[in-house]
Amino acid sequence: MTVSRRWLLLLVPLSVIRGQSRPANGVGVTLRTVSSSLDFPVYLTAAPSDPRLFVVEKGGRVRVIKNGQLLPTPWRQLRLGHV
């Protein structure tokens, strides 16, 4: 599967969506678009007990998705050195 550089897809277990503890077929993954306004997302994470999603874009910009909306101001700009 190829993911466009401008789309961020979130994998959500089907059991969470269906309210089941285990999917019937043993494969419980679905894709959901959470933002189409990112520039080459490379990493997605969330802090415990925090509903926000933190997305790192290529180049080091960290963006925040809050309540399903991409916030206009980046959270951080990471400095990326050469290895």
Q: For residue range 25-36, list pLDDT tens digits in order.
A: 666 677 778 888
Within-domain flag for 24: yes
The pTM assigned to this predicted structure is 0.61
* Domain with 41 in it: 8-77
Domain count, the chain: 1
Within-domain flag for 28: yes
- Enumerate residues 6+ apart whose C-beta is below 8 A from 83: none
Burial profile 6-43: b = 16 or more Cβ within 10 angstroms, e = fewer:
eebbeeeeeeeeeeeeebeeeebeeeeebbeebeebee
Within-domain flag for 2: no
Tens digit of each residue's pLDDT (9 = 90 or more) over 32-63 = 788 889 988 999 888 889 999 999 999 899 99
Within-domain flag for 1: no
